[in-house]
Chain A
């Protein structure tokens, strides 16, 4: 039946969605179903040929127009259904890519190798390009008129200005208004929260 392949694709998206909703941390994408998508596109071309044929037959008066119309609509609806499934699948993946880009503060995920790791090979070439350019947009926006405010910073309202932190992994020296801190694993510091925010997000230090 037409549309069965597309249904498979949507079930796949549903499964990924469930996996992502179960873990509270970073979202992730599973493999891009290129083959399945190619087959759906093939099905659409086939349906397109059928509609053209049906229309010709109808115009030539070879068919009972009422009956032809029914066939015609079934074919159209199948095409529409396939289209909706394809778009929904891609939209779902793009949404995940968007949140990935935000979770990583617009840093280049594919090359910098920081933060959350999304397996590169699971993305289609277009998706890789999309992720790269979307991340770039975020970076540009942060550097532009919005540079005064850290729009990708922590969303938790601030409580204390200064906090105690413990270093989870070596992060080298950081320079702050209050001097230089050498972040060696297991050491503890009393620092201004805004100075250390980024390192908390990246998992280098932990609030205690």
Chain B
């Protein structure tokens, strides 16, 4: 979970999750693409996490004394707690299972976390899972995610170190390979080619399946391994 100014955290919060409204609310039609209209009870909309997270824990209490301060407090506590204190009131929205946490994905993780294409599912996969887990204090999902991070991190480390061997064994070749890679992907989504020093491993799909967090780790790890190796053979 990044800080207030963390660009990646802000982008992760913009990932949309499906929600169902528990009330008729006038004036919110713009959330489902109908400005000026009301949003009706039970209608399903996709809302960014930054919005859904709060609406899912604030209840439609009729109590007028329930001022801003109270609400702020609620937002800082987890879903569980506020459900207890507010158990009689339904929150404004119900969060529905997003497509990045389906059973199919969970099973795929259990089978082989290394072969899952996180980037294709969501480029902020680990971050949004983490946020979701936070919302429901879901221990089961938390264990699954920890296992995924750990198993994939071994791959990340392996790739970060394999690359450095090749850089020193065949510098010239790597340079061309890298340039070709960038040229080919220039038109692609940015995320595709920002992995620090992609060279020989471009043929290996794992590197293209990393999510934003993993890429960051990969880049740092690779640089550290590379610097050490460079020093050793200086």
Contacts and interface: CB of A to CB of B under 8 A. Distances in A.
Answer whether A and B touch in the complex at a CB cut-off of 8 Å.
yes
Interface of A: 1-3, 7, 10-11, 13-15, 17-18, 21-22, 65-67, 69-71, 73-74, 77-78, 81, 84-85, 87-88, 91-92
A22 B25 CA distance: 47
Contact of A1 (B30, B54, B64, B219): B30
Interface in B47-83: 48, 50-51, 54-55, 58, 60-62, 64, 71
Contacts of A15: 190
A66 B86 CA distance: 14
Contacts of A10: 7, 10-11, 14
A2 B54 CA distance: 16
A73 B7 CA distance: 24
A77 B54 contact: yes
Nearest to A16: B7
Nearest to A65: B64
Contacts of A66: 23, 60-62
Given A71-B26, A77-B54, A91-B5, 10 more contacts: A10-B11, A14-B11, A67-B24, A67-B25, A70-B25, A70-B28, A73-B92, A74-B55, A84-B10, A88-B7
B8 A92 contact: no
Nearest to A94: B5
Interface string B152-170: 0000000000000000000
**Which residue among A13, A18, A70, A92 has the maximum number of chain B CB atoms within 10 Å of its CB?**
A70
B58 A73 contact: yes
A2 B14 CA distance: 12
Contact of A71 (B5, B7, B28, B61): B28
B14 A70 contact: no
B10 A88 contact: yes
Given A10-B7, A10-B11, A88-B10, A67 B196 contact: no
Contacts of A77: 50-51, 54
Given A3-B48, A70-B55, A65 B62 contact: yes
B7 A17 contact: yes
Contact of A81 (B23, B50, B55): B50
B4 interface: yes
Contact of A74 (B6, B28, B71, B219): B28
A6 to B, nearest CB: 9
Contacts of B194: 18, 21-22
B48 A88 contact: no
B31 A11 contact: no
Contacts of A84: 4, 10
B190 A18 contact: yes
Interface in B17-58: 23-28, 30-31, 48, 50-51, 54-55, 58
B6 to A, nearest CB: 7
B8 to A, nearest CB: 7
A91 B6 CA distance: 9
A61 to B, nearest CB: 10
A74 B10 contact: no
